Amino acid sequence: MGSIPTLAGVSSRYVQTPRLNIHLLQSGSTDGTPVLFVHGNASSSTFWEETMLALPEGYRALAPDLRGFGDTEDLLIDATRGVGDWVDDLLGLLEVLQTGPVHVVGHSLGGVVVFGLLAERPSALRSVTLVAPGSPYGFGGSGADGRANHPDGAGSGAGVVNPEFARRMGEGDRSSDDPQASPRVVMNSFYWKPPFVPAREEALLSSVLSEKVGPQRYPGDAVPSPHWPGTAPGKFGPVNAISARYAGDLAERVAAASTKPPVLWVRGDSDAIVGDASLFDIGTLGALGAVPGWPGADVFPSQPMVGQVRSVLNGYAASGGSFREVVIEDAGHTPYIEKPEAFSAAFHPHLAGA
């Protein structure tokens, strides 16, 4: 059993794969059509429980904790592979479970991992659902064309994470005494649109705090850079893995996928984390004067994350695929928790149609 109690109808188990021991939540019929749920950063499989239970009959929900998160075996993430470690871990899990092709759903960082699955093994996917996905060009440090502002990925990765937030994460801080660094306040301020507070706030906070923290874990290591803001991604940890330095050719590989399952892209209209002027992007913070020395938009613009995702999906459609974009009103970064009925209204027909 995992460390966080589950809802009735959701079971917890461990699955030993050739790569690592994965903690897995599951629900539904064991012979149902499999749906793989991939969580985001500073969260875990716990975030998916209500969505799993809301699936129509005939589906089997599978929600693992990614490497570096939750109750999965604590092994380091090699950030130089981009999302490669997570992609290989998930493919190994599906092989052990003998699922055959799956519907896959990815949220935030998990959306970038799903882009990686789509690029690496599209034949393993029946359909793709992206929920507020990070850009396949990485999180931070790139402009409209997706190219990194600096070759070392400066301005993305572990070095731009608030160290006080990471410290409190590692200490399991459940307080509300710091609006910029308390994990509870950050969760309730940015994961959803205030004043929404989820019914399972304590379980979700436990999920946030379950991420593995340390110099080679969350947020990862950083190296000095001659470019603003003076820090670039190191080689370990989840934030470095989705940095501009290691995104590589992921966007091009998505467009070139040999088979093209249908894609549903769902996002909230008030997302402050993944947006064209994200409050977690160093370019946006520099333009607002929150980070000194900003060299200007011609050198370091705000990353147009939504625009980048749309551009990549347009390329996917132009090369034979298809996608549908759904914007949920009055929702932030986690619309499947904030507006579950609206999310299901888009998600369930997408599964059936595929």
- Other beta carbons within 10 angstroms of residue 164's beta carbon come to 13
The rounded distance, in Å, linking the Cα atoms of 189 and 346 is 25
Provide the residue type at 1 as one letter.
Answer: M
Provide the residue type at 27 as one letter.
Answer: S
Provide the residue type at 265 as one letter.
Answer: W
Task: List the beta bridge partners of residue 106.
Answer: 38, 130
pLDDT tens by residue, 255-301: 999 999 999 999 999 999 999 999 999 999 999 999 999 999 999 99
pLDDT of residue 53: 98
CB 35 within 8 A of CB 102: yes
CB 87 within 8 A of CB 120: yes
- Other beta carbons within 10 angstroms of residue 145's beta carbon come to 9
Name which CATH class applies to 11-353.
Answer: alpha beta
pLDDT tens by residue, 79-90: 999 999 999 999
Residue 115 tokens read as: 């882009």
Give the C-alpha distances (Å, rounded to integers) separating 322 from 51, 290, 291. 24, 39, 39
Helix axes 109-120, 84-97, angle to 10 degrees: 70
b/e code 274-307 from CB counts within 10 Å (16+ = b): bbebbebbbbbbbbeeebeebeeeeebbbbbbbe
Domain ranges across the chain: 11-353
For the chain, list residues with pLDDT below 50: none
pLDDT of residue 250: 94
The whole model's pTM is what?
A: 0.98
Decide: helix, strand or coil at residue 231.
strand
pLDDT of residue 180: 87
pLDDT of residue 179: 87
